[in-house]
């Protein structure tokens, strides 16, 4: 999606011209000059539908499609305003709408931006989308509005992730956490410590320029104190994030369901090895198997349990019963339950009873979708086939979200931020500690400066002052279109 770029954290201070030149390249690379449009309201019919647009030439695009009720031209409006009017669509009567107009740059994306609020009728919204595309806009990529907000400096990366945290919030607690992060709670702590380190580095480097004249811009004592303050703040943040990440590593996700629904096959498909025994004979998985699952930066222990069918009396019934008891216990202890339903048959009474029970962290999966479908299950579920691989990526993505949410419950940072930032904060904390030791042992100010640079680069990655296309891809690809 993006051209590779790793910015020097000191670029802004050292060379404004170079930073501006890099920005110019970015502007081209990220097609910031194009006008983008997307339906921003949820899919399906509703009382109100919303189209969102952004781009420097947005006014020209809107003027071809939108007519203000009072015949005002958008060029006359310099403040954020709501204008009642209508859309001219081919083949239909003018469509009444409200235009929310932000001429920019004080908008979410930092550019001219608009929202068209009209009837939430999908064919009408599609027609409006097409009319706006004919007038010069193009369809927005997932997360592109928030990416623009980041590139224009309106949000840092922790805030961009908070936007996603708000969209995905599972309840009032996670909503509050995301809101606090969006307001800059985490970002401002990081920016403060980064600014302090940049000042410290500038003073050290000024000293190097006057080394012959024996001029010190900062005393040994001041240097030690400021490094200690920064190291303490970063180490504290790193510890917090670390405990969060460790928490996700302990998350247990269990595959649960009636015998023969395809749990072991799914286990093998997800774990990528033939670990579980797959059989046509119900209840083959007698004990349970585990596999460490890596899910794009988060990890969990995936557990395949025995089926739960009591079965007829027989010599192996005690073994079956013991395995079933173990399976139920695994399911109860797990943070995430991947509950599997066989799509080739109707839901049975046991499954119905389980579905009726509330369970936090449950993901519903329909298995064997490559076979003729006879399920009567009508709820939402990820549709998978272990044979063709269909739906496995979607399941991995849903599992990742569930694992991250379960592993970071009750903590005060959006889970995705915690997982992404843990490594950078640890690196930064270690460099600052080394810098402190160097000052203590008179190890030379050049080496101290080098350690501070490493710490700054790592901190820059957390807030997004230093970034690569990988980081941006990873963050913004999780957004939906229109955000
Ligand atoms: P478990 O008892 O729930 O662990 O079920 P298994 O994974 O052992 O699968 C039971 C049977 O269903 C085996 O014959 C599998 O080969 C078959 N099966 C499992 N998943 C699929 C699938 O996605 N497609 C097809 N066609 N068969 C599947």
**Ligand 1 pocket mutation, candidates 254, 255, 260, criterion most atoms within 8 A of CB:** 260
What pLDDT shows up at residue 418?
74
Centroid of ligand 1 to alpha carbon of 271 (angstroms):
15
Per-residue pLDDT tens digits for 119-145: 988 889 999 999 999 999 999 888 889
Contacts within 8 Å (CB) and 24+ apart, 143-147: 143/475, 143/476, 143/477, 143/478, 143/479, 143/480, 143/483, 144/36, 144/38, 144/476, 145/36, 145/38, 145/52, 145/54, 145/108, 145/109, 145/482, 145/483, 146/476, 146/479, 146/483, 147/30, 147/472, 147/476
For residues 425-447, average pLDDT: 88
What pLDDT shows up at residue 1?
35
Confidence class of residue 482 from pLDDT cuts 50, 70 and 90?
A: confident
Centroid of ligand 1 to alpha carbon of 356 (angstroms):
25
Residue 425, φ and ψ in degrees, nearest 5: -70, -35
DSSP code per residue over 404-436: HHHHTTT-SS-HHHHHHHHHHHHHHHHHHHHHH
Percent of the chain with pLDDT over 90: 30
Look at residue 87 and tell me whether its pLDDT is greater than 90. Answer: yes
pLDDT higher for 379 or 29?
A: 379
Ligand 1 proximity of 285 Cβ (cutoff 6 Å): yes
Centroid of ligand 1 to alpha carbon of 262 (angstroms):
4
Which atom of ligand 1 lies at the shortest distance from residue 307's CA? Answer: 2
pLDDT higher for 304 or 472?
A: 304
Look at residue 336 and tell me whether its pLDDT is greater than 50. Answer: yes
pLDDT higher for 23 or 323?
A: 323
Angle between helices 157-168 and 469-476 (to 10 degrees): 20
* DSSP for residue 344: T
**Ligand 1 pocket mutation, candidates 259, 262, 276, criterion most atoms within 8 A of CB:** 262
Residue that the structure tokens 């007519």 belong to: 67
Confidence class of residue 2 from pLDDT cuts 50, 70 and 90?
A: very low
What pLDDT shows up at residue 23?
46
The helix/strand/coil state of 94 is coil
Confidence class of residue 243 from pLDDT cuts 50, 70 and 90?
A: low
Confidence class of residue 15 from pLDDT cuts 50, 70 and 90?
A: very low
> Average pLDDT of the chain?
80
CA–CA separation, 356 and 336 (whole Å): 17
What pLDDT shows up at residue 214?
60
Look at residue 263 and tell me whether its pLDDT is greater than 70. Answer: yes
Ligand 1 proximity of 268 Cβ (cutoff 6 Å): no
Ligand 1 proximity of 165 Cβ (cutoff 6 Å): no
Ligand 1 proximity of 262 Cβ (cutoff 6 Å): yes
Look at residue 215 and tell me whether its pLDDT is greater than 70. Answer: no
Centroid of ligand 1 to alpha carbon of 340 (angstroms):
11
Ligand 1 proximity of 338 Cβ (cutoff 6 Å): no
Confidence class of residue 8 from pLDDT cuts 50, 70 and 90?
A: very low
Residue that the structure tokens 């670390």 belong to: 242
In 7-121, alpha helices (H): 11-14, 16-29, 58-65
């Amino acid at each position: 999606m993006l051209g590779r770029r790793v910015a020097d954290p000191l670029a802004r201070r050292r060379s404004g011209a170079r930073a501006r030149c890099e920005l110019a390249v970015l502007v081209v690379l990220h097609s910031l000059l194009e006008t983008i449009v997307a339906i921003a309201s949820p899919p399906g019919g509703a009382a109100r539908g919303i189209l969102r647009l952004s781009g420097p030439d947005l006014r020209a695009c809107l003027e071809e499609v939108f007519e203000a009720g009072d015949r005002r031209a958008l060029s006359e409006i310099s403040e954020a305003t709501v204008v009642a009017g209508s859309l001219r669509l081919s083949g239909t009567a003018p469509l009444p709408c409200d235009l929310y107009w932000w001429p920019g740059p004080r908008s979410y994306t930092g550019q001219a931006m608009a929202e068209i609020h009209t009837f939430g009728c999908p064919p009408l919204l599609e027609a409006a989308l097409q009319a706006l595309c004919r007038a010069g806009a193009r369809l927005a990529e997932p997360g592109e509005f928030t990416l623009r907000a980041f590139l224009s400096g309106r949000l840092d990366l922790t805030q961009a992730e908070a936007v996603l945290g708000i969209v995905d919030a599972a309840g009032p607690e996670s909503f509050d956490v995301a809101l606090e992060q969006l307001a800059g709670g985490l970002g401002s702590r990081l920016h403060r410590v980064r600014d302090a380190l940049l000042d410290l580095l500038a003073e050290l480097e000024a000293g190097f320029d006057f080394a012959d004249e024996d001029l010190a811009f900062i005393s040994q004592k001041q240097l030690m104190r400021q490094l200690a303050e920064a190291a303490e703040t970063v180490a504290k943040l790193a510890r917090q994030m670390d405990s969060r990440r460790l928490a996700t590593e302990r998350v247990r996700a269990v595959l649960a369901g009636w015998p023969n629904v395809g749990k072991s096959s799914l286990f093998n498909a997800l774990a990528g090895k033939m670990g579980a025994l797959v059989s046509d004979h119900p209840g083959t998985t007698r004990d349970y198997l585990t596999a460490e699952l890596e899910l794009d930066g988060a990890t969990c222990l995936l557990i395949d349990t025995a089926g739960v069918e009591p079965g007829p009396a027989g010599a192996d019934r005690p073994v079956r019963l013991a395995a079933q008891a173990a399976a139920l216990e695994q399911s109860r202890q797990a943070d995430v339950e991947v509950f599997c339903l066989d799509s080739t048959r109707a839901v049975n009474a046991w499954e119905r009873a389980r579905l009726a029970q509330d369970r936090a962290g449950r993901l519903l999966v329909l298995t064997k979708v490559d076979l003729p479908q006879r399920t009567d299950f009508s709820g939402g579920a990820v549709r998978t086939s272990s044979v063709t691989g269909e739906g496995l990526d979607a399941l991995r993505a849903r599992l990742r979200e569930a694992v991250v949410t379960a592993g970071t419950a009750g903590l005060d940072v959006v889970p995705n931020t915690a997982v992404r930032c843990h490594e950078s904060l640890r690196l930064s904390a270690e460099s600052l500690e080394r810098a402190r030791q160097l000052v203590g042992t008179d190890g030379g100010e050049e080496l101290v400066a080098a350690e501070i640079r490493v710490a700054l680069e790592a901190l820059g990655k957390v807030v997004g002052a230093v970034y690569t296309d990988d980081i941006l891809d990873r963050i913004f690809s999780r957004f939906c279109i229109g955000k």
